[in-house]
Amino acid sequence: MAEAKARRLERIHRVRTLQLRQVQAEEADAHARLAQEAAMRERISMLSGNVAPTPAPLPVAATSLAAAAHFRERLHRTAEAADKRLAQAEQGLDAARSATREAKRDQTAVEKLISREEADAALRALRELEALPPMRKKRHGPC
């Protein structure tokens, strides 16, 4: 009975360990996604800084001003979309962190159950040894 319980706990521990590793991998992916979105947002802001209107000493054609305005508008919309993706990536990271905490908590609980079962098995073994009849001393005759 105790052996079956120990095997069951070991199996549960293996499953929880696999789940924990999977959740940790998902958290690492969420970190990477967040870093990627932040880098994309930074590149977009650098581009919009480069396209910002500046006083030009030479007369500029109206078509180039219109094209620059159109490009700035597109960059602005892209920046808004990047902000939304960044917020979603942060939410995904928070969800992944909480899932990792829950998986770690579950694995720790199983580890505590295993250690408690091992301690109980050791106590049972000691009680069985105490219940054994006393060993007789070997008596040797005069040699």
Reported pTM: 0.70
Query: In the predicted model, what is the mean pLDDT of the chain?
Result: 87
Q: Is the pLDDT of residue 11 over 80?
A: yes
CA distances to 27, 83, 88, 89 from 95, in Å: 9, 18, 10, 10
CA–CA distance, 123 with 109 (Å, rounded to integer): 21
Residue-range domain boundaries for the chain:
2-52+66-121
Residues 6+ apart with CB under 8 A from 76: 48
The DSSP H or E segment spanning 95 is helix 62-131
Question: What pLDDT, on the 0 to 100 scale, is given for residue 56?
Answer: 61
Question: What pLDDT, on the 0 to 100 scale, is given for residue 58?
Answer: 58
Residue that wins the pLDDT comparison between 42 and 132: 42
Rounded average pLDDT over 31-40: 95
CB pairs under 8 A, 24+ apart, for 120-126?
A: 120/2, 121/2, 121/6, 124/2
Please say whether the structural domain 2-52+66-121 has been given the CATH code 1.10.287: yes
